[in-house]
Copies of this chain bind each other. A is one copy, B any other.
Amino acid sequence: MYFELRHLRTIKAINDAGGLARAADQMNITQSALSHQVKGLEDQAGVELFVRRTKPLRLSAAGMRFLKLAERVLPEVEALEEDFRNLRQGRSGRLHIAIECHACFEWLFPVLEQFRRAWPDVDVDIRPGLAFDALPALQREDVDVVVSSDPESLDGIDFSALFDYEPVFVASSQHPLAAKDFVVADDFRDVTLITYPVDRSRLDVFTELLLPAKVEPRAIRQVELTAVILLLVASNRGVAVLPDWVLRDVKLDSDYVTRPLTKRGITRRLYAATRDKDTSQPFMAYLLRLARTEPLKPRRMSA
């Protein structure tokens, strides 16, 4: 006994049209075809779905049960079809973003807020969990965008440059190193370094400065939230290295100073990795444009 949506559509049409002939018309099909179909359906169901003794065919009790299913299911199916239409036209889609850089939350969140207003039908999400194999996840279509500062040449993956940033040293104005114009690797030997709780290979201080110089800080303290890191730094419980965009917002009203790493400062570039087939999708292009420009604009004093 295998029902198909065709049968649900038939039942509904016959009920709506109030008769088999009219229903056939409505469905752009012969009355004969419908008659055959109804017969087949009743054979399958093993149940009389219609009252035959009356002439404009009417649903029986069992037929009404069938109709109720149709009226619950068909709208859902149509909703799916609508979804797919939107998808084809690039008006809807999925935009699940994996961020390798822990602090990217700070600028990404406002960007996504703005994105949602423009593309309400796109399913937006940030997935911090899979920072590890973000690029394989992108290839497997587990996520749709990976934000990273380490572009690799991968088949089917595009890397779009977003913006440059500078990892800067942050310390309390009371801290001895605050006296220097810039800090170098050796300066870290005697400090407590506060970092995000991720592997060193994804922390700019280490990859760009300390690992090459083989310098180990006196102590490392791992803290999840950027705001908390800044709090600890301001109260001189340690120093940190954070991307400049994190500091732009709150610089003025807190008791800490920022200094370049090395005399000339370090510059890094942030990229968005996407599958090439998605890169030119309208909403994806929109996101990339937003992510290129938005984080650089001055922002209000929100957290």
Contact = CB atoms under 8 A, between A and B. Distances in A.
B62 A87 contact: yes
Given A61-B94, A76-B73, A87 B141 contact: no
This chain: how many copies in the complex?
2
- Chain A contact patch, size range: 35 or more
A66 B2 CA distance: 20
Nearest to A52: B141
Given A65-B80, A73-B76, A47 B4 contact: no
A51 B141 contact: yes
A80 B139 CA distance: 41
Contacts of A139: 53
A60 interface: yes
Contacts of A3: 5, 77, 80-81
Contacts of A80: 3, 65-66, 69
Contact of A45 (B53, B60, B84): B84
A77 B69 contact: yes
Contacts of A53: 139-140, 156
Contacts of A46: 84, 88
Contact of A72 (B6, B76, B87): B76
